[in-house]
Amino acid sequence: MQIYIDESGSFVSAPTLGSWNVVVAVATPESARSTIERSVKALKLAVATSLSNELKLNDISEGRYISFLESLSRTNLLLFATATDAGYNVPDRIARHQKIQVEKVRENIPRMLYEGGRQGVQQLANQLEVISPQLYAQLVCQVDLLYDVVGRSINYFAQRVPGTLTEFRWRIDQKNTSKTTYEDAFEKIAPLLLQTRSIREPGIRVEGFDYRRMAAYEFENGQPPDYLAEEYGIHVENVLNIQKLIRGNLKFEDSKQSYGIQVADLLASGLRKCLRGKFQDNNAVAVALGRLMLQNKQGKYPIHLISFAEQEGQVDPVASKAIKVMQRHCRPMLRDM
């Protein structure tokens, strides 16, 4: 499976509600990559630009953008997204959330058997502690996104294209020629946070789906490490080794060299614009975006919404309307037999 990740928005706290920031993942079987590349090339030719140029949303008419989304919906591409309204994300609330997470990481230091492990966890906590509030908010959204991709895409493709689950190739938009502090922190922190969450919230497996290609990502002998039972009293089965699944093939790539990341960029910016109600026919764009999304559990939107407010706030009416349209048009999880 190819997974391309990009974001739209600065994740800086905003004075007004409706200030949406999003991070998206585009998950697709390797077999669909050439079809997706053809859709991007056709879009570039339609706007009379060089194939080597990287298109941005503002370069494309609304009609062409909808047509582009419709062409993607004819492939096995899946769009996952996590969004946060920066109007709710007051800096001191983010700081409190960050402090709690750092404390949770440090609680694990005494449990490490070896000095190297203790030092590694300490360094992880230190790194998590010093990133800025806006980057911490982005990190939380990206970690949530990755967990969602793993959870839902596996069950989708296990029914339809199980060979997709043989390998997971994560490609994230690289912002500079050299790795940034955030990218370095993300690469180290995200797999650990994801593994912790996967133990607390094990993924669902459905009898009859084909998960055989995922054997390489399961813990040896099908059992998670002994310390889960000894230290936490947790007894679980079929827990994925998510650290291996993420770290095995994760790279930061220049978007100019990757059609997949270019698609993720166009979907991220389009989704953010749609949540803010900035398209002339916002409903039509919401329908087209929804057709790329995957049905979630009952009562949950296909997009994950994250807020750092102490109490859950209401989604602004414009975004709420768009999300509900997307939900009505998203792809079913279960395949028709």
The pTM of the whole model exceeds 0.75: yes
Inside any domain, residue 100: yes
Inside any domain, residue 285: yes
Structure tokens that stand for 310 in this block: 């102490």
Which residues, in sequence order, are bridge partners of residue 8? 22
For residue 21, the Cα-to-chain-centroid distance in whole angstroms is 13
Q: Alpha-carbon distance 120 to 302, whole Å? A: 36
Q: Alpha-carbon distance 266 to 252, whole Å? A: 18
Sign of CA dihedral 245, 246, 248, 249: positive
What pLDDT is attached to residue 115?
73
Q: Which domain holds residue 173?
A: 2-329
**Number of structural domains in the chain:** 1
Inside any domain, residue 246: yes
Strands laid side by side in the 303-306 sheet? 250-253, 169-173, 2-8, 20-28, 78-85, 303-306
What pLDDT is attached to residue 12?
94
Q: Alpha-carbon distance 40 to 56, whole Å? A: 12
Inside any domain, residue 71: yes
Mean pLDDT of 233-251: 76
- State pLDDT tens for residues 47-69: 988 998 999 999 999 999 999 99
- State pLDDT tens for residues 323-333: 999 999 999 99
* CB proximity list for 332: less than 8 A, separation 6 or greater: 295
Residue 17 — pLDDT band, cuts 50, 70, 90? very high
DSSP state letter for 88: T
Structure tokens that stand for 306 in this block: 């994250």
Measured between alpha carbons, how far is residue 305 from residues 85, 226, 234 in Å?
A: 8, 34, 28
Inside any domain, residue 32: yes
Q: Where are the alpha helices (DSSP H) in 56-180?
A: 62-72, 91-106, 115-130, 133-160
Inside any domain, residue 150: yes
Task: Evaluate whether 156 touches 330 at the Cβ level (below 8 Å).
Answer: no
Inside any domain, residue 283: yes
Inside any domain, residue 336: no
Structure tokens that stand for 280 in this block: 């002339």
Which residues, in sequence order, are bridge partners of residue 4? 26, 171
Task: Answer yes or no: is pLDDT of 111 > 70.
Answer: no
- State pLDDT tens for residues 265-310: 999 999 999 999 999 999 999 999 999 999 999 889 999 999 987 7
Mean pLDDT of 164-175: 94
DSSP state letter for 213: G
- State pLDDT tens for residues 184-207: 878 888 887 787 777 677 778 888
Structure tokens that stand for 250 in this block: 């994760």
Helix%, strand%, coil% for the chain, nearest 5: 55, 10, 35
Task: Answer yes or no: is pLDDT of 123 > 90.
Answer: no
Mean pLDDT of 62-89: 96
